[in-house]
Structure 1
Amino acid sequence: MFLINGIEQQTLAATDRATQFGDGCFTTARIIDGQIQFLAAHLQRLRQACERLFIPFADWPVLEREMSTLAKEKVDGVVKVIISRGAGGRGYSTANCITPTRILSVSAKPAHYERWRQDGVTLVLSPVRLGRNPLLAGIKHLNRLEQVLIRAHLEQTEADEALVLDSDGWLTECCAANLCWRRGRDVFTPRLDQAGVDGIMRQYCMRQLASSGFNVVEVNARQDVLQQADEVFICNALMPVVPVRQWGDLHWTARDLYHFLSPLCEQINQS
């Protein structure tokens, strides 16, 4: 099901800047028992992205109601929200873009995530690197061509997910998930101030670990740091956490962080 500006339809204006320029942002949220997990955090993510992109979206109460209404139809599923700058004239100018477009959809949760949680995943190093751009780093804007290319390469391999570097060779994320690793009581995750997406589940996991006695550090690191890792996991709002069992010749069997975080990530009301 799709809602575009509150109307059930699948037709978008050809002049909408989402299609013309990828001019917008999005978030993808998990539905549990008819409720949206991290609803406030997803709305805040969209607000921050709109502010960063100078999109004058103001219908936040309407959007929240629409998200909650769609979620009631699913016991377990996914709601995706896209906000574009709306329809406008020819060229890059935003002068004639007055009314942003909101697009909502609901779908089933990816079935393979349950298998991934049980078995763990394998990674492959992607040859596609993310461009460094501090203006857009961290937010989920609609320009996803890098991820499309990463996914295209991944599907030519037997791996489950891709290990992604930025254009300077720093560990950044996976194709559709954030990356974390543990060495002793120290938990590391890549800095995302130059590239990548600062995921809501990443933020939540970092808070939970920090308050539980782990030393959580955001770092610039090369891929070889994983050779010293005791445990590696990936996360996003839908997985929500998945252990990594293998990357090339490296194997991990420890699941301390996974077993700690997994039950916490199944709750509706989070902090």
Structure 2
Amino acid sequence: MDFFGTVMAPFRWLVSAMMAAFHDGLNSIGMPAASGWTWTLSIIGIVLVVRAALIPVFLKQVNAQQRMRLLQPDLKKLQEKYKGKTDPLSRQAMVQEQMALYKAHGTNPFSACLPMLIQMPFFFALFQVLSGISTTAGQSQGVGAMSAEQVMQFDQSTIFGAPLSASLLHGVGGNQLSVWVLSIVMILAMTAAQFITQKQIMARTLSDEALASPVMAQQKVILYSLPVVFGVGGIVFPIGVLIYWTTTNLWTMGQQFAIRWDRMGP
């Protein structure tokens, strides 16, 4: 096992254990064990657990955003100080003074990325679990904490005729049109939700002057490129992974709207 596989092993086991536990719980209240909707709700259950655990991180992110807004007058003065100075030394000095301001106020321009970065191991773990299901189905083998029977049930489960283990590039039986339609709809939904969330964060915390600064220009490239990266990457993600990422992006967008209206007003 390579280094990445070793690091991801406990996350794979945890994700598979949560999915199996939610599946067994839903089955115990009468939902069919092999139903795609039972497994879909199990994946959504993973999102709920992970995102609930990240609420303290999200609140810290909100506090960092509020400190970023309080920092705007100082940033504006700094930008006025270096206005019209485009030589490399001046630009470097401006960036250094800007980072010193962020440190003094206990915030940084990349705080918006933290919840996403924390979620990435769970996202990759789910991808690996579903990929493992696709390769071991029919071999009477379990995957992580999932039994061989659960692996078979998941591999055979569908929603709207599309297998949860299928992707745009790797259809696995079922209705291929359903796979394409469902995948494209979720890719568009998760990309749109992620883009709207980033726009909310930046519009709420930064002035136009701050957005024009070199540091924030770099952050804008990162934040706005992520939806594109995940949108393009969505063509290889199994539908089960798309369900996870679409749900978590909608959760994030909802959190941002709740904070916006609750703390800042319309």
TM-score range, shorter chain: under 0.3
Higher strand residue share: 1
Higher helix residue share: 2
Which has the higher relative contact order, 1 or 2, with Cα contacts under 8 A spaced 6 or more apart?
2
- With structure 2 as the length reference, what TM-score do the two structures score? 0.22
- Which has the larger Rg? 2
- With structure 1 as the length reference, what TM-score do the two structures score? 0.22
